[in-house]
Structure formats: C-alpha cells, structure tokens
Structure 1
Amino acid sequence: MRTRGLAALGLIESEDAMYDPPWRVDCTANPNGCKQANLWMIHGISHGIGLAVHDPLQGDRNGGTFAEGDAFTIEPGIYISTRALDVLPDTPRNRQFKAKVLAKVKQYENTGVRIEDDYIITDKGLERISLVPREIDEIEALMKRRRAIQP
C-alpha cells in the first residue's frame, strides 16, 4: 500500500522501480533492497515492546510464531527529503530517477508520517491496545481540532 501511494504521488517511478543505493548490495540477488520506495521508508515496520523501548520481536525467538503475552508494534513510516536523493551515487539509473521525482520530492519536502499501532497476543487472539486514531478521516478530524485551539 505504501509503495502504491508513493507511485501515485510521483515520488517513485513505479511500484517495482529500482535505484542504485549508496551502499554495496547485489540488486539482482536482493531486488527488494534496491527498490526506490525504500529510499523513503527508512526504518522497519515492527519491533517488540516491553521493558525496553525496542524489545526484540518476540516471534523471532519462536521461529516466527508469536505466543500469548507477546506485545509488538506495527509502525510503517514514510519520510520525504531531498537529502535522501543527495546521497545517491551518480549513475544513469539514479539520474533518471531524480529527474522524474525531484519536483514532487520538493513539493513534499520534510513530510513524514508514521502511524504506530501496538498489539498484544491474548488468549482470545490479537488485540490492538493503542488508542490513537489511524483512519484518514479520524486523523484529519484530530488535526482540525488541534488547529482550532492553537493561537
């Protein structure tokens, strides 16, 4: 969904478009590591929560299976900045990518969004424990109320 949205906004060339990253990676063997969308998604989408801010993801210790009492967050984020384009190596693919998206990147410069939901596994199943709004209309309503009370 994030990749589709980035493509619709013109921040990537397409959902599967690649770029040449500034670090060493074999884009043929690991194509996901070279997708343009990753440039704007700079952190993972989940981690465990508990005693530490970023506890290990509990499912990792059980071969990917969560157990009752495990708590974790799902927090996809997108952060737009021309600085991300500035670190790309000068290659034909990157020049083409930058030429196509630079105007849109400037339009959305310094825009970032992350919606964090916290969950716990209970005897009844998965329970969302965060109370913050996450639907577009809920978030926009909250922002309007906040603007109305600011001087």
Structure 2
Amino acid sequence: MTSTTTAESLRPQRNIPADIARSWLLVNAMKPELFDQSAVSRADAIILDIEDAVDPSQKDAARDNVVNWLIAGGSAWVRINDATSRFWADDLAGLRGTPGLLGVMLAKTESADQVTESFHRMDGKTPVIPLVESAVGIEEANNIAKAQGAFRL
C-alpha cells in the first residue's frame, strides 16, 4: 500500500438508492477537474451535465470528458440534451454501454415517446429520468411517468 491517496480511492460507495435520493449534484461536464471532488461529496447522486451547462460548440468535448471519467472508474448519472436537439442522438450513442453510467436525465421531456426512444437507444436497460420543464411536459406528465424506461420524474 502506498502513502499516496488517489481521488479514485476516496470515492465513497453511494448508499442511497437513486429511487429515494434527495440531493442530486449537477456538475458541468466541461469542468472534469471537479468530477472526483464531486464524487466524494455528500450528495446522494452525481449528475454530469452535458446539456445546459455546456456551450453548443463544446458538446462533443463535454461528452468525451464524461465518458473518459466513467471508463476510468467514475460512477454518475448524465444529463443529456433534449430529444428535439441536434445533440440528443450523439449523446445516446456516445454514452451507450459506458461502464459507470448509472442512467441518463433527459432534459425538456415533453412526451412519453421521447423517454421510450431514449431508453431503447441506450440498450433497453439504462434508466431514464425525464425532466419535465415546460407546460407541455406538465400536461403530458402522467404519460411520461408511465413510459417504458422512465425511472422517476
């Protein structure tokens, strides 16, 4: 055993299941220097944000930051771009099968179909948390909550 402590060795085991988590820490995916620090925080869940926190010109780099950290042993949820954006399909394709990915948060969800399509594009096993952020989403919330792959709103 070495006397050097790595951030990876400090990563706590999350003891709070995501279905009852109360505190969700959003971390800008363009700040990978904060990923390890966030992982050792007392938040119940960590969400690496490649959606609103990231300038459109940096979406690919942000997604790469997230994938590289997850592959290196990190564990987190990832907030992806909404299904109507030009980034959504790339987000799903880039994250699919990545070790350490706990699930995705789908921004600006307005229909059950957006949740189901995201779920199937991921692998049919990765949970989706639909974020309802508009009046249309609120009107559709019941259907969104029942969509295949929806984990919690």
Same fold? TM cut 0.5: no
Please report the TM-score for the alignment, with normalisation by the length of structure 1.
0.25
